[in-house]
Amino acid sequence: MNSSTWWPAPAKLNLCLHVNGKRSDGYHELQTLFQFVDWCDYLQFTVRNDNHITLNPELPGVPAHSNLIVKAARMLQQHSGVTLGADITLDKRLPMGGGIGGGSSDAATTLVALNQLWQTNIAVDELAQMGLSLGADVPVFVRGLAAMADGVGEQLRPVTVAEPWYLIIVPAVEVATADIFAAKDLPRDTAKITNLEKQPAQWKNDCQQVVCNRYPQVAKALAWLVDYAPSKMTGTGCCVFGQFALKSDAEAALAEMPTGWTATVTKGCNRSPLLALIA
Ligand SMILES: C[C@](O)(CO)[C@H](O)COP(=O)(O)OP(=O)(O)OC[C@H]1O[C@@H](n2ccc(N)nc2=O)[C@H](O)[C@@H]1O
Ligand SMILES: Nc1ncnc2c1ncn2[C@@H]1O[C@H](COP(=O)(O)OP(=O)(O)OP(=O)(O)O)[C@@H](O)[C@H]1O
């Protein structure tokens, strides 16, 4: 790996998101199953001999100092004491704020790539722990293995599940995670299920109805998609995904989608494209 390598930062899907209760600190007890897809942002890193971190291009509405990529690089500098810096190029392909974790994934790829390029040699457990303070979903991207998450999402257990093709639709709305978890109509009483990863018939998203109630575009996308495939919302929205055994069937559905909608066809993967690159 060198300065011309494009490091992938894949999206994730929450194949289920069960809300099991609310804790006294306000956070929710969850069971959620993370799988990666082969739909990615790409980042390039050139090591600098001074300690500057630059990012090109910047994201509209996100100043560099609050971009999770720059935050991750600074965190690794501080944690390791390294005196090097980096010029970072971002090829942003994932929609922002859609529940597919693009920002968290960019942060994780930055930690993994710079840990290698700066030769800081921080172990993966420590890197994942560092990432947690940048976002709840950063650790699963650092580890790169599909996983069942428990607790408030921080206890991860790698799992192997089917790797279908997905048609992911991106409704033109931004959903604030905190608003959905604060909603009065959110069901919070799903019982914990042992070996949930082995029981796909039980997988559901407890946030889905709440988001559909507030955002008709999400309800509309799901209502259209279920005619083609078993379909759900990911995370706290707004993206929805349908599951297909054949790529050609997912593409056929995409071809029939109403004009003006944004969507992509991509493959589910239990090992992330980032892990595949560094293995
Ligand atoms: C639920 C997931 O979408 C699953 O992928 C993510 O874990 C959410 O991750 P995120 O966007 O990084 O969200 P966070 O910044 O951790 O949380 C945003 C807000 O959602 C609420 N929140 C989040 C996670 C959780 N287990 N219980 C909660 O109640 C809290 O009010 C929190 O302030
Ligand atoms: N590199 C980045 N890429 C995307 N968003 C970023 C980045 N850095 C900071 N952000 C901020 O984080 C917000 C949420 O980004 P992201 O695309 O990860 O949301 P998401 O897919 O809903 O994530 P999650 O599923 O983890 O809730 C953005 O609206 C943006 O303000």
What is the reported pLDDT for 157?
A: 97
13 assigned to some structural domain:
yes
Residue nearest atom 19 of ligand 1, based on CA coordinates: 178
Gap between the Cα atoms of 106 and 112, Å rounded: 10
Q: What is the domain count for the chain?
A: 2
Please state the atom number of ligand 1 nearest to the C-alpha of residue 182.
31
Does 90 score more than 90 pLDDT?
yes
The reply to whether 143 and 179 lie within a common domain is no
Gap between the Cα atoms of 264 and 234, Å rounded: 14
What is the reported pLDDT for 268?
A: 98
In the listed set 138, 159, 180, which residue is the last one of a domain according to the structure?
A: 159
Please state the atom number of ligand 2 nearest to the C-alpha of residue 104.
18
- Give which of 145, 150, 165 is closest to 243, Cα–Cα: 165
Q: Which domain, by its residues, includes 218?
A: 165-269
What is the reported pLDDT for 154?
A: 83
In the listed set 159, 191, 226, which residue is the last one of a domain according to the structure?
A: 159
Please tell me if the CB atom of residue 152 comes closer than 6 angstroms to any atom of ligand 2: no
Give the pocket of ligand 1 (CB within 6 Å). Answer: 14, 27-28, 30, 32, 99, 135-137, 152-153, 177-178, 181, 235-236
- List, for residues 28-73, the tens digit of each pLDDT value: 999 999 999 999 999 999 999 999 999 999 999 999 999 999 999 9
Which CATH number covers residue 238?
A: 3.30.70.890
In the listed set 99, 128, 159, which residue is the last one of a domain according to the structure?
A: 159
Please tell me if the CB atom of residue 131 comes closer than 6 angstroms to any atom of ligand 2: no
275 assigned to some structural domain:
no
End-to-end CA distance of the chain: 11
The reply to whether 197 and 96 lie within a common domain is no
DSSP-assigned letter for residue 60 = T
- ipTM for the complex shown: 0.94
Strands 28-48 and 7-22: antiparallel
The reply to whether 66 and 115 lie within a common domain is yes
The reply to whether 92 and 139 lie within a common domain is yes
Q: How far is the CA of 243 from the centre of ligand 2 (A)?
A: 24
- List, for residues 101-152, the tens digit of each pLDDT value: 999 999 999 999 999 999 999 999 999 999 999 999 999 999 999 999 999 8
Gap between the Cα atoms of 188 and 2, Å rounded: 47
Residue nearest atom 26 of ligand 2, based on CA coordinates: 101
Q: Which residue has the tokens 């929205």?
A: 237
Which CATH number covers residue 73?
A: 3.30.230.10
The reply to whether 155 and 258 lie within a common domain is no
What is the reported pLDDT for 129?
A: 95
Q: Is 137 a catalytic residue?
A: yes
142 assigned to some structural domain:
yes
276 assigned to some structural domain:
no
Sign of CA dihedral 129, 130, 131, 137: positive
274 assigned to some structural domain:
no
The reply to whether 116 and 185 lie within a common domain is no
Q: What percent of the chain has pLDDT over 90?
A: 97
pTM of this prediction? 0.97
* Burial group, residue 261, by CB count within 10 angstroms (0-12, 13-18, 19+): middle
The reply to whether 147 and 11 lie within a common domain is yes
Please state the atom number of ligand 2 nearest to the C-alpha of residue 66.
9
Helix axes 68-80, 102-117, angle to 10 degrees: 40
The reply to whether 32 and 148 lie within a common domain is yes
Does 2 score more than 90 pLDDT?
no
